[in-house]
Amino acid sequence: MRLRSVKAKTFLLFMPAVLVLFAAVLVAAYVYAKGIILDQSRYGMNEQLKSISNDIDTRLVAHTRLPEMIAHTIEDTYTKLTLQDYQSMTKGELSVNGETFGVGVFFAEGAYNPKTKYFSTYAFRDKDNLKSTEDYNNAGNNYMSQNWYKAAVNQKEVVYTDPYYDEVTKVPMVTASAPIYNAGKQFIAVATGDIDLSTLQKTMADMKVGATGWALLIHKDGTYLAGPEQDKVMKTKLQQDPDSALAALGQELLQNKNGNTTYTSANGVNHVFYKEIPRTNWILAVIKPDKELTEPLTQLLFKLCLIGLAGILLIAAVILVYSRGITTQIAKLNKLSEKLAAGDFTHHIAVTSQDEFGQMSEHFNRATGELRQMLNKVSEHTLHAASTSEQLSASAEQTSKVTENIATTIQEVATGADVQLRGAEETVRAMDELTLGIQRIAESSSLVRDSSEETTAKASEGNEKIQEAVVGMNQANENAKQLADVIRQLNARSQEIGKIMEVITGISNQTNLLSLNAGIEAARAGEHGKGFAVVAHEIRKLSEQTKQSAEQVGHLIDQIRSYAAEAAASVDTGAVEMERGTRLVGEAGEAFQAILHHIHAMDDQIQEVSAASQQMSASSEQVNATTQELSRIAREAAANAQHVAASSEEQLASMEEIAASSESLTLMVEELRELMSRFKV
């Protein structure tokens, strides 16, 4: 298979995509199935763990009820029951639960009979029979020193002992001990129920988790209670196992109590689900090898690979068959293309299908037929073109002569148009200068008019201010006169106050003199006149202060009179100046009135000049526009004349080219005839 062929390219194009697609589907299916299978396996292990745990817990509950029933039964009647009664009671309770190995009652020292230290009975199973024994009453056994007895003393509910090997029954067991109290809440005995661990150990050893997994039961201190390795049961602690992986697993189980994990042993990775049994704090674990979990995945992967390989082979075969059909059709088209390239238009393709290749073959046959007809027409038109080119050559020579005469005449017209254009352009320039001057006059007139209007406004405003100043000066003159009158009145009142102060000063002097005389008379009176002397002294001090105050007031009055005189003089001078200012302001107002009158007259004349200049500017612009329009028309006429002259020259050149082209056409027709002779139609 050549790499340049369509078949090879098609195969190389589709097969990588198919391989990638199948690989993606395979990976996705494997990952999805792996998740489902692992989830189902974990769910199954967890459910089995719950089932085993519930089963053990159910057995423990059934077993625990036996010593509890005995404890409730004898707590009030224990002294009334005989040994035979206790034997019948324990055997009766033992027969209720077939999984319980033995049931017993063990009284505290002297509790049953003060003269009896040990009093007990124990019912147990001997194969299919129920037997009773009082061997525990032997002093050598001393049941009160046993862990299962001491653990229940002073407790409030049933307690479980650690697993132990009973020397009397020769059975490994765990004891559920229930404390017994009398009506006075005093501890009197222990009721026990023993579980034979050998039955549970055998059950756990035979238990299968999945197909190859196993179950494991360990004590809360890590001791093996049950499992497949019998040599470690009741002897080895899981966290001390020689296998370091199992030892690490034991540490995790004792620490977390509940959960799931994995560990690696000699047989590979193992999945572990574990759970604590609440009543005994034992830990139950179910273990399943990872290879058992992944075995369905391995089988699924193998099946998926087989299906994928079969699918790839099938698709490869389909691609090869499909590409072979395509290359067959392409070969037919290629063969016909070679015939057409050689100039043979007499062949066609046999249409054998109605698909795209069949449609393409029909289109190819139709195109070949159209080309055949076109070549026939080209041959006919070639002959016609030969005769037409000869006629065209003759017409081109005659047209060239006429075009030369037209070009000469148009050239003379273009020269006259140029002269007319220059005159029009000079007229336009003169009108532009005239229009510019008139526009400047109009602009100056507008500026003068604006200045005149502004001057008029300022003059009017100045006249108003002058009139306001006249009114203000008159008002100020009146106020100055009133102020002068007030100052004169103030001066007169100051003189009157001065006279009053002179009277007060005289009164003060007389008072001082009288107080002095009174002091002298008081001194003469001796002791009787001391009080009067003090009063006279105070009056003299007041008169002196009054005199000083009067002198100060007199001094101030003199200053006020001096200031009032100066103010009166200043007001009189200001009044004179105010009258003079009022007169001058009035004269300025009359001058502003005259200026305003003349400005109004000048403003009217400026308005007339501005209007006339604007009218003249508008007229000049209209004349300028007309002149420019004439210049434009002249320019266009000159341009048109030049264009016609150029066109006539171009037409002349074109006619010469037509003549040359007709000769070239004749040569081309000859060549075309020669080429057409190569085709077979």
Q: What is the 3-state secondary structure (H, E, C) of 608-663?
A: HHHHHHHHHHHHHHHHHHHHHHHHHHHHHHHHHHHHHHHHHHHHHHHHHHHHHHHH
pLDDT at 596: 63
How far is Cα 222 from Cα 285, in angstroms, rounded to an integer? 12
DSSP-assigned states of every residue in 424-461: HHHHHHHHHHHHHHHHHHHHHHHHHHHHHHHHHHHHHH
**Chain centre distance of CA 207:** 58
Token pair 């020689």 in the structure block, residue:
242
Going by C-alpha positions, the residue among 489, 512, 511, 508 that lies closest to residue 554 is 508
Instruction: Measure the CA–CA gap between 122 and 66, rounded to whole angstroms.
Output: 13
Q: What is the pLDDT of residue 134?
A: 92
User: What is the spatial distance between Cα 640 and Cα 646, in angstroms, rounded to a whole number?
Assistant: 9
| Distant-in-sequence, close-in-space partners of 113: CB < 8 Å, separation ≥ 6 | 119
Q: What is the pLDDT of residues 415-438, one digit of tens each?
A: 765 665 676 567 567 567 656 765
Distance CA 217, CA 233 (A): 10
The pLDDT, as a whole number, for residue 409 is 61
In the chain, where are the structural domains located?
38-294, 372-674
**How large a percentage of the chain has pLDDT more than 70?**
71
Q: Across 209-213, 340-344, 385-389, which has the greatest mean pLDDT?
A: 209-213
| Residue 488 CB-density burial (10 A; 0-12 exposed, 13-18 middle, 19+ buried) | middle
pLDDT greater than 60 at residue 623 = no
Give the residue from 81, 105, 83, 82 showing the smallest Cα distance to 93: 105
Q: How confident is the model at residue 199 (pLDDT cuts 50, 70, 90)?
A: confident
Nearest to 280 by CA among 59, 524, 86: 59
Give the pair of three-digit tokens for residue 115: 């003269």
Dihedrals phi, psi of 361, to nearest 5 degrees: -65, -45
Alpha carbons 533 and 522: distance in angstroms, whole number: 5
pLDDT at res. 677:
67
224/243 Cα distance (integer angstroms): 14
User: Is the model more confident about 308 or about 77?
Assistant: 77
Torsion of CA 297, 300, 306, 312, to 10 degrees: -90
Residues 6+ apart with CB under 8 A from 296: 37
| Mean pLDDT for the stretch of residues 582-599 | 67
Predicted confidence (pLDDT) per residue in 444-491, tens digit: 657 756 765 776 677 677 667 767 766 776 776 677 677 667 667 766
CB 293 within 8 A of CB 41: yes
According to the model, what pLDDT value does residue 681 have? 64
Q: Could you give the C-alpha distances from 255 to 222, 225, 287, in angstroms and in order?
A: 11, 18, 18
Q: Tell me the pairing of strands 268-277 and 282-289.
A: antiparallel
Q: For residue 344, what is the DSSP state? A: B
- Interval 283-299: pLDDT, tens: 999 998 888 777 777 77
CA atoms within 13 A of residue 146's CA, in its CB half-sphere: 26
Whether pLDDT at 637 is above 80: no
Nearest-angstrom CA–CA distance, 307 and 309: 6
Measure the CA–CA gap between 569 and 567, rounded to whole angstroms. Answer: 5
The phi and psi torsions of 592 (rounded to 5 degrees) equal -60, -35
Interatomic CA distance for residues 602 and 608, integer angstroms? 10
Instruction: Supply the mean pLDDT for the chain.
Output: 77
In this structure, the strands spanning 100-107 and 187-196 are: antiparallel
CB-CB contact of 253 with 274 (8 Å):
yes
Q: How many CB atoms lie within 10 A of CB 566?
A: 11
**Distance in angstroms (rounded) separating the CA atoms of residues 180 and 178:** 7
564 band by pLDDT with thresholds 50, 70 and 90: low
Indicate if the pLDDT at residue 82 is higher than 90: yes
SS3 of 291-324: the string is: HHHHHHHHHHHHHHHHHHHHHHHHHHHHHHHHHH
Q: How many CA atoms lie within 13 A of 423 on its CB side?
A: 7
DSSP result, 49-108:
HHHHHHHHHHHHHHHHHHHHHHHHHHTTTTTT--HHHHHHHHHHHHHH-TTEEEEEEEEP
- Please give the CATH superfamily to which domain 38-294 belongs: PAS domain (3.30.450.20)
Where does the pLDDT of residue 371 fall: very low under 50, low under 70, confident under 90, or very high at 90 and above?
A: confident
Which of 3.40.50.800, 3.40.190.10, 1.10.10.10, 1.10.287.950 is the CATH number of 372-674?
1.10.287.950
- Start-to-end Cα distance in the chain: 38
Instruction: Please report the pLDDT score of residue 455 as a whole number.
Output: 61
Amino acid occupying residue 384: H
- Both structure tokens of 400: 């060239």
130 forms bridges with which residues in the sheet? 125
Q: Cα–Cα distance between 596 and 589 in angstroms, integer?
A: 10
Long-range contact pairs involving 47-50 (C-beta distance under 8 Å, separation at least 24)? 48/209, 48/286, 49/273, 49/274, 49/275, 49/284, 49/285, 49/286, 50/275
Summarize pLDDT for 506-563 with one digit per residue, the tens: 776 777 777 777 778 777 777 766 676 777 777 777 777 777 776 777 777 777 677 6
pLDDT above 90 covers a percentage of the chain that reads 13
pLDDT greater at residue 374 or residue 68: 68
Q: 238 near 247, Cβ under 8 Å?
A: yes
Q: How confident is the model at residue 104 (pLDDT cuts 50, 70, 90)?
A: very high
Residues linked to residue 273 through DSSP beta bridges, in sequence order: 260, 286
Q: Of 181-190, 200-209, 568-577, which range is least confident?
A: 568-577
552 CB neighbour count, 10 Å cutoff: 11
- CB within 8 Å of 420: residues ≥ 6 apart: 634, 637, 638
Predicted pLDDT of residue 14: 72
pLDDT, position 29: 80
In contact, 113 and 106? CB cutoff 8 Å? no
d(CA 55, CA 425): 127
Question: Which strand (E) or helix (H) includes residue 260?
Answer: strand 259-265
C-alpha to C-alpha distance for 282 and 254, rounded to whole angstroms: 10
For the entire predicted model, the pTM comes to: 0.44
Residue-level pLDDT at 646: 72
C-beta separation of 225 from 234 below 8 A: yes
In angstroms, the CA 321 to CA 304 distance is 26
